[in-house]
Copies of this chain bind each other. A is one copy, B any other.
Amino acid sequence: MASGIRRVTLKTIAEMTGLSLSTVSLSLRGGTTLKQETRDKVNEAAKALGYVPDRAGVRLRTGKTNVIALVLDGSEDSIDFARNMIQGIGHAITGTRYHLTVIPEFERHNSTETINYILSNRTADGVIITHTGPRDPRVQMMIDADFPFVSHGRTEFYTPHAYHDFHSEEFAGLAVKRLAAKGCKDVLLVIGDDSTTNYHNIVTSFRKEAARAGVEARVLEGTAKLSPAEMRRVGMDLAADPHRPDGIISDSEMRTIALVGGLTEGGVTLGREVQLIYKQTSGILPTLFPKMDSIREDVFAAGGELTRLLLKRIDGTPIKELQTLAEPQPHWRSG
């Protein structure tokens, strides 16, 4: 821990170049009033010494933390969601001065305390939240505080805010059309977490598209609280049901796995008696079910996009330019 040599600060550079502290500081921040010669000298010295501005100093003086905070939802629906999201963010901040702090949530959506903490202690320059609800209180808080944030998911608030979202309506539309094209007459949507805006978008679009395609539309709600074992049970019950649907759309990887397990154990051959399309976010499901149709959401890319939007938001870009959707990527495997 005793590294002997002292830290390289502005002072070090000042001493080395014979310039004043202020000049060095100004120069490093690109002061245009300085002589080119001076600026070169400073840059050289800084590079030679490997100068990196002290985060605490900057933060104390300017209030800028150079930190972005990810509030990590505890949801298990999407496999490896955390890793992909974090890698996406990490990729987008390499080369910037930003660090990423992650605040995991345990219970679902109780995170107003977390937001409150960040807001009142100015512990980050911006926040990324996921699994956003239509009237998400976290969003409300940050809008009220005029604090930079971006949500993975849209809301119903009147005041606009930065977001990046999966185009769920498109997802539902694509899935329904695909199933209809395969001859399905009776389609079931298996969907979880109804506290999410996503949920509403999918259900609404699902019903509309099903009506248009002339197929029966059923929705299996409240599956968010089910354990994998219970979900598996649902699959078995479905398999045994004489009125079972001939097409299924599943919006979560975890539930897909359990459901398919149950259906298969119940004697259903997927792709024959029953068609299934699932939302895919990790690489595992395609390995598991190589012949099954899926529609992909790229969480890594989402992390990157969220970060880019947030950094722009922090830098003052108007909010209208900070609202983007990710197109679903269909992966049709069979006929």
Contact mask A1-35 → B, CB, 8 Å, 1/0?
11100010000000000000000000000000000
Assembly stoichiometry (copies): 2
Question: Is the CB of A83 closer than 8 A to any CB of chain B?
Answer: yes
Contact A103 B90 (CB under 8 A): yes
Contact A104 B90 (CB under 8 A): yes
Contact A82 B79 (CB under 8 A): no
Contact A283 B52 (CB under 8 A): no
Please give me the residue from chain B that is nearest to A146 by CB atom. Answer: B1
Question: Is the CB of A284 closer than 8 A to any CB of chain B?
Answer: yes
Known pairs A102-B101, A284-B257, A287-B261; A3 contacts B87 (CB<8 A)? no
Question: Is the CB of A129 closer than 8 A to any CB of chain B?
Answer: no
Contact B86 A82 (CB under 8 A): yes
Question: Is the CB of A332 closer than 8 A to any CB of chain B?
Answer: no
Min CB gap A294→B, angstroms:
14
Q: Report the bound CA distance from A67 to B258 in whole Å.
A: 39
Query: Which residues from B are CB-within-8-Å of A56?
Result: 55-56, 59-60, 65
Contact A86 B102 (CB under 8 A): yes
Q: Report the bound CA distance from A60 to B57 in whole Å.
A: 6
Min CB gap A82→B, angstroms:
4
Q: Report the bound CA distance from A284 to B255 in whole Å.
A: 10
Question: Is the CB of A123 closer than 8 A to any CB of chain B?
Answer: yes
Contact B76 A283 (CB under 8 A): yes
Question: Is the CB of A308 closer than 8 A to any CB of chain B?
Answer: no
Contact partner, A102, options B55, B80, B100, B121, Cβ 8 Å: B100
Contact mask A116-127 → B, CB, 8 Å, 1/0?
000011110000
Q: Which residues of chain A (260-298) have a CB below 8 Å from chain B? A: 261, 283-284, 286-288, 290
Task: List 6 tightest A-B contacts by C-beta distance, closest first.
Answer: A228-B287, A90-B104, A82-B83, A56-B59, A56-B60, A1-B146
